[in-house]
Amino acid sequence: MSRRRISPGLAVLATLALAGCAPAPGKGLFKRQPDPTAGIPEPTSGRYLALQQVQAPALQVVVEDRSQRDLMLFSHRLDGVELWYGRDGVQVGLRDGMLAYTRGIGGDLMAADTRQSHALLASGQSGTAKRFHSYLNGNDQIETDSYICDIRRVQDFTLAIGEARVPTWYMVETCHGPDLIFENYYWVDRRSGVIQQSRQLANPFSGRVAFQRVLS
């Protein structure tokens, strides 16, 4: 994954994604790329190279606003969170498929508590959940924001991941915070409750990041 492009002043935003109709579940960010590593620069992170050598599990990642893509590699698990490394040393952390941590994408998500949302998603239930995000702001201060989220199971959907066909629930989470409204989208494996694909807000600055597991 590549680093943050610069865009004008931020701090507060009114709306990131207006709540409304969820996009069709098949509008995939991963479909257009037959070769997931095409056009991505060579790795510079020593850790990434080491993980490549041991053929660590991979995760396709797209920072949507910038159309920046990477095949991130699984490094290790810390306190229940999977840490994935990008080729330039950028990291994301997923707790049960929910984004809990970013480092190096700009306006980083320092930590997140998404347990309530995950409980609903993993069981395919609609409902309301609270989630909490900590960001590092431009004045080196941590800002913790709370969001109230409506989670809806929109439809069943057969997700194509490579050659595999995975039966999923397509679920939408609409969150309202003090100065931000955003939507996250999840494709939850109906058999296991595992989030196989998702589009989640990383932070107000970098916007949404899309993830898809690479099935081995």
Partner 1 sequence: MSRFSGAVITECMSSRPVRLVCCIAITGLIGSGGAAQDQQQARFTILDRPTLTFMGDVGLIDMPSADSMADADVTATAMYANNILRTVIQFQVTPRISGIFRYAVLNDFLPGSGTLYDRSFDIRYRFLDETRHRPAFAIGLRDFGGTGVYGSEYIVATKGVGDRLRVSAGIGWGRLGSYGGFSNPLGILADGFKTRATSGNNAGELDFGEWFRGDAAFFGGVEWRATDRFTFKFEYSSDAYDREADPMGFTHKSPFNAAVSYRFDNGIDLSAAYLYGSEIGVMLNYTFNPKTPRIPDGIDDGGPSVVPRDVAAARSWGLDLSDDGASPASRASMQARLAQQLEAEGVILKSFRIEGSRVIVHIRNDRYDAPTQAIGRTARALTSVLPPQVETFVIVPIVASMPVSAITIQRSDLEELALDLDGSWKSYARADIAEGSPYRLRREDYVPGAYPDMRARFGGYLVPSFFDPDSPIRIEVGAELAAAYTPRPGIVFSGAMRQPIAGNLDDATRTSNSVLPHVRTDIVEYEKESELEVSYLTGEYFFRPGDNLYGRVSVGMLERMYGGISAEVLWKPVEGPLALGGEFNYVRQRDYDVLFDFRDYEVATGHLSAYYDFSNGFLGQVDAGRYLAGDWGATFSLDREFANGVKIGGFFTLTDVSFDDFGEGSFDKGFRFIVPLSWLTGEPSQRGFGQTIRPVLRDGGARLSVRNRLYEITRRLHDPELKERWGRFWR
Quote the CA–CA distance of 216 and 57 in Å, as a whole number: 8
103 near partner 1, rule: CB under 8 A: yes
Residue 131: how many CB atoms within 10 A of its CB?
A: 22
Q: Which of 58, 61, 62, 112 binds partner 1 (CB under 8 A)?
A: 112
**Judged by CB, which is closer to partner 1: 161, or 201?**
201
99 near partner 1, rule: CB under 8 A: no
Q: Which of 25, 97, 99, 101 binds partner 1 (CB under 8 A)?
A: 101
> Considering only CA atoms, which of 94, 104, 123 is closest in space to residue 193?
123
Quote the CA–CA distance of 191 and 185 in Å, as a whole number: 18
The two three-digit tokens of residue 9, written as one number: 């002043």
**Secondary structure tally for the chain: helices H, strands E:** 2, 12
Stretch near partner 1 under the rule CB under 8 A, chosen from 24-32, 152-160, 189-197, 201-209: 201-209
The two three-digit tokens of residue 114, written as one number: 């998404």
Q: Which of 35, 42, 79, 163 binds partner 1 (CB under 8 A)?
A: 79
178 near partner 1, rule: CB under 8 A: no
Q: What angle do CA 41, 44, 45 make, to 5 degrees?
A: 130
Contact residues: partner 1, CB under 8 A: 3-17, 45-46, 51, 54, 56, 64-66, 75-81, 83, 85-86, 88-91, 93, 95, 100-101, 103-104, 106-108, 110-113, 132, 134-142, 144, 203, 205-207
